[in-house]
Amino acid sequence: MYRRVTIIGVIVAIVLILVLGFYFAYMASNANGGTAGQPVTAGDLATLKQIALAPYGPSGISMLSSVKNYTGTPLTAQSKPLVVYIGADYCPFCSIQRWPLIIALDRFGNFSRLVYMASSPSEGDYPTFSFHTSTYSSNYLVFQGYEQQDRNNQPLDAVPSNYTGVFSQYGSAYPFSNFGNRYIIPGAMMSPVSLTGKTQADVLNDIKTGTSLGIQIKEAANVITALICKLTNNHPTGVCMQSPINGLVLSLAAYTPGSLGTVAQFEAPTSTGSPWAVVSSSGQRD
What's the average pLDDT block by block, 10 residues per block, for the chain (286 residues)?
54 46 41 83 97 96 92 94 98 98 98 97 97 97 98 95 91 95 95 97 98 98 98 98 96 67 58 37 32
pLDDT of residue 34: 80
> DSSP states of the chain as a string?
-HHHHHHHHHHHHHHHHHHHHHHHHHHHHTTTTTTTTSBPPHHHHHHHHHHTSSP--S--GGGGGG-EE--SSPPEETTEEEEEEEE-TT-HHHHHHHHHHHHHHHTTEEEES-EEEE--GGGT--EEEE-TT-EEEESS-EEEEEE-B-TTS-B-PPPPHHHHHHHHHTTS-BSEEEETTTEEEESBSS-GGGGTT--HHHHHHHHHHT-HHHHHHHHHHHHHHHHHHHHTTS-SHHHHTSTTHHHHHHHHHH--TTTT---EEEE---SSS---EEEES-----
Enter the pTM of the model: 0.83
